[in-house]
Amino acid sequence: MLEHEKRSARRVPVSSKVKIVSALHGETHYGTTRDISVAAVAFETDYVPHHGEELELTVLPGDATVKPLRALVRVTGCTEIEPGRRYAVVVAIGKVID
């Protein structure tokens, strides 16, 4: 998918719990999704990742009959929402894991 196609991809608002595992140091953090597209996921968390950092992301649906979305992702943006407490993170989906 070309860069301009990624940015114009339709974003679906989704509010689900998300588990974030850093590939850099293995720490686990949690957050809440804001929206999902075919190319990216935006979420809020108390974790401040580095630009370009690789993460394993698991979107945990509220419905137990729906399989969680697990993916290897790369951080493309991080903005402070609440000073020192809450951050909006955007990640590009690299590979979906079964």
Domain containing residue 36: CATH number: 2.40.10.220
Q: Identify the pLDDT of residue 7.
A: 56
Q: For residue range 29-51, list pLDDT tens digits in order.
A: 999 999 999 999 999 999 999 99
Q: For residue range 50-87, list pLDDT tens digits in order.
A: 999 999 999 998 888 889 999 999 999 999 999 999 99
Tokens 């719990």 map to which residue? 17
Q: Give how many domains the chain has, as a whole number.
A: 1
Q: What is the CA radius of gyration of the chain?
A: 13
- pTM equals 0.87
Q: Identify the pLDDT of residue 8.
A: 63
Confidence of residue 5 (pLDDT cuts 50, 70, 90): very low
Q: Identify the pLDDT of residue 4.
A: 45
* DSSP string covering 8-50: HSPPEE---EEEEEETTT--EEEEEEEEE-SSEEEEEES--PP
6 has a pLDDT exceeding 70: no
Domain that holds residue 85: 3-97
Burial class (CB in 10 A: 0-12, 13-18, 19+), 90: middle
